[in-house]
Amino acid sequence: MRHTLAASLFCLLAASAPSATAQTAPGWLRYPSMSPDGTTIVFTYKGDLYRVAAAGGTAVPLTMHEAHDFMPVWSRDGSQIAFASDRHGNFDVFVIPAAGGQARRLTFHSAAEYPYAFTNDGAAVLFGATRLDTAAHRGFPAASQPELYRVPTAGGRVEQVLTTPAEDVKVSRDGRFLLYHDKKGGENAWRKHHTSAVTRDIWTVDLASGEYRKITTFAGEDRNPVLADGDKVMYYLSEESGSFNVHKMSLQGGKPQQVTSFKRQPVRFLSASDAGVLCFGYDGELYTMRPGSQPQKVPVAIAADARSNGERILPVTGGVREMAVSPTG
């Protein structure tokens, strides 16, 4: 009887297993990152990095590791991709040639580390982690307050850049200042329609003088800024219009301009090319948007074999007396 039950369970599980076929409209494409020249998008799908033409097409895998790879960022010259991966337990920063190849590990700390940007010369990657705060800040919860660091792309010693939390960092073309959103507390980053004292705002910091300047004043979430128009303007994601949409504002502050009008789901993962072509995710799909134009969905197809067996055999170890399969299976 046990053999019969096990066989029946196997048939049920095997029948429900997905087949490995090309997906013409795969869902849940995340963390898209536009190349500096605007021709290519790298994104995360099922824990791997893929690259696809900005106009759309069949995406090809950039990584194939069994670990989770995500958060890709491009070097200024378009030759390298930095990303986070938990290949050794926690998330570390890796770099890989943009054309594909062997990924190299850059960070080795036990804290999770997430890349934000390359320096303009491509010699280092800026990343966030809760590695070592200053003694003056020890009254704050260290686990929710990351610091900003840099690590050489050739490998080597990590240096702290800022002890104050700075996420989604962008570097100005002249290397003079950083643009970023802050993190005031441990609120879940995926929470929607959140207003409180810890909602994110966008800042700049002058690296020479150490001067910080707050740009946004909305009482809700402003985040994920990118530079445009010769570093005089920023695009960013804000809930000021209701749901997360792309907004535009001068770096000197002022009244924001809403540039997308999505209603049902939040816009996520904003990036931009050097020419100001925006790329972002909405409802699990990729979009691009040229200055003065409407958002365009990027058609993406993925043809890949399954990474593991789709069916599982559940052992029947005893105690089962009888079973009945539903009419629908």
DSSP character at residue 23? B
pLDDT at 138: 64
Specify the pLDDT at position 81.
98
Low-confidence ranges of the chain (pLDDT < 70): 1-24, 137-142
The whole-number pLDDT of residue 139 equals 61
Mention the CATH class of domain 29-302: mainly beta
How far apart are the C-alpha atoms of 202 and 14, rounded to whole Å?
Answer: 50
* Residue 183 phi, psi dihedral angles, 5° rounding: -145, 110
What's residue 94's pLDDT? 98
**Every domain of the chain and the residues it spans:** 29-302
* pLDDT at residue 36, rounded to an integer: 97
Q: Specify the pLDDT at position 22.
A: 55
Determine contact, residues 92/69, Cβ cutoff 8 Å. no
Please tell me what DSSP assigns to residue 185. S
Determine the pLDDT at residue 19: 43
Map residue 118 onto helix, strand or coil: strand
